[in-house]
Amino acid sequence: MNRYFIGVDLGATSGRVILATLSDGNIALEVLHRFPNRLLQIGGKYYWNIYALYEEILHGLTLAGQRRIPVTSVGIDTWGVDMACVAADGTLAGLPRAYRDPYTNDAPEAFFRKVPRREVYRRTGIQIMNFNSLYQLCAARREGMSALENAESVLFMPDALSYLLTGEKVCEYTILSTSQFMDPRTREIDGGLLREAGVDAALFPRVVLPGERVGLLCEEVARQTGLGRVPVVAVAGHDTGSAVAAVPAENGRFAYLSSGTWSLMGIEVPEPIITDDSYAMNFTNEGGVDGTVRFLKNITGMWLLEQCRAAWSREGKEYPYEQIMHMTEGAAPSPAVIDPDAPEFAAPTDMPAAIRTWCAAHGYPVPADDAALMRLIFDSLAAKYAEVLGRLRSLAPFEIECLHVIGGGAQNDLLNRMTADACGIPVVAGPAEATALGNIMVQARAAGVVGSLSEMRQYIRRSIETKTYEPKK
């Protein structure tokens, strides 16, 4: 018998409503609705239009309802850290502030005057980033944000959207783990840190783990979409948490690389790794399925190439990806590599010029043409992945036997080959749709289709094709 699940996957620039059909041990995905997610800039402040997202989700659910599909459940994943405030009458108290808003730029340093930086890392295991939820709350209190002043509850983005669908409030573990006010050992909110930020921990509802039911679609939504009172299940609400749940690993001795515009490389462990070395290397501990911990590091990914393509396009030079791969493979290996995470590459107006300037400033050969610059980017990314993997190996409680590449980068044949050679271990590429698959499989487990994280991954292995890249000897 076929089982049907709907996964809502929201990124910072776009969203999708995806229908999954599980049949005979296999998964088929169909995108019911794809839509943009645009920042709103109002009065110099940046917001998410949560009402527009809600409408788009309803449209996707309605498309399923029109087809009379017997949906088992719905699950939502989004990006991390951002929050919505709910007033005492149950309405949203304004639009959620977006992590790109510069109001948090100096918030961490102000907070460290109350609690030292190293102490914050010791208590949370989360790398210091100015837009972490803890510093957003500090900045909101400092400016007297009316939404927070009038809030009865504060919900992270996937939980806020689930609330709009069901009327039920929860705080999902994996999305909470990105906040920098969760104790990763107890998986509970650190009320002491919140008090220093001027916020009461009671604003946040009960913590739930992936697979727990949030509630049923409220009567209005059930009627409008035609789905009926379908359950909404808390999946790994943080999109990377859902993606890592879909790693088709056969055992736990792996590292993963969630690869796209930005990359995240890490391992999955049962307990957080919080040491002087992890602090010095700026590794972070985020929540995963089954209470696991994703010990990882953020790395710049294909951002460099995408920004170069944009600059070249302004000059009238259009390079489709197939041509880029051909030009890169035909170019000579780079005599030196750049640091993709250098601050000069964070948001330059002209990325090719920024890369050439960086090379000249560091005494490196400047790429002679576009092909050489493409090759430099690929060589540098592979080298960076190898560097971070080396640091992971020094901290991991097990031997890392292979690297699983998931997300859009799983389809980048050339970079995967170069990464395998640089890292010296097999690279297993796929699935590209890891986030959606992880979202769906958590729902499938809640419905009793599978019984464990290992079985979820086994199910995914049967359903997708992966490609293995062996390193050159």
| pLDDT tens readout for residues 139-182 | 999 999 999 999 999 999 999 999 999 999 999 999 999 999 99
Determine contact, residues 408/260, Cβ cutoff 8 Å: yes
Q: Model confidence over 18-77: pLDDT tens digits? A: 999 999 989 999 999 999 999 999 999 999 999 999 999 999 999 999 999 999 999 999
- Catalytic site residue 239? yes
Residue 279: the pLDDT is 96
How many angstroms separate the CA atoms of 15 and 9, rounded?
6
Task: Output the CA torsion sign for 446, 450, 456, 459.
Answer: negative
Count of alpha carbons within 13 angstroms of residue 355, beta-carbon side: 28
Determine contact, residues 101/46, Cβ cutoff 8 Å: yes
Run of H or E residues at 306: helix 303-314
- Position 473 pLDDT exceeds 80: no
Pairing of strands 254-258, 402-406: parallel
Pseudo-torsion of CA 385, 79, 82, 44, nearest 10°? 80
- Position 314 pLDDT exceeds 90: yes
Provide the whole-model pTM.
0.95
Pick 3-237's CATH classification: 3.30.750.24, 3.40.50.300, 3.30.450.20, 3.30.420.40: 3.30.420.40
Pairing of strands 3-10, 14-23: antiparallel
Determine contact, residues 127/178, Cβ cutoff 8 Å: no
Fold for the domain defined by 249-430? Nucleotidyltransferase; domain 5 (3.30.420)
- CA 20 to chain centroid, in Å, comes to 20
Q: Model confidence over 199-236: pLDDT tens digits? A: 999 999 999 999 999 999 999 999 999 999 999 999 99
Q: Where in the chain is the domain with CATH 3.30.420.40?
A: 3-237, 249-430
Instruction: Name the active-site residue from 9, 239, 290, 370.
Output: 239
Task: Output the CA torsion sign for 469, 466, 302, 440.
Answer: negative
- Band of the pLDDT at 262, cuts 50, 70, 90? confident
CA–CA distance from 353 to each of 326, 345, 362, 374 (Å)? 22, 10, 14, 13
- Band of the pLDDT at 293, cuts 50, 70, 90? very high
Torsions phi, psi for 270 (to 5 deg): -75, -25
Torsions phi, psi for 86 (to 5 deg): -115, 130
Residue 424: the pLDDT is 98
- Band of the pLDDT at 261, cuts 50, 70, 90? confident
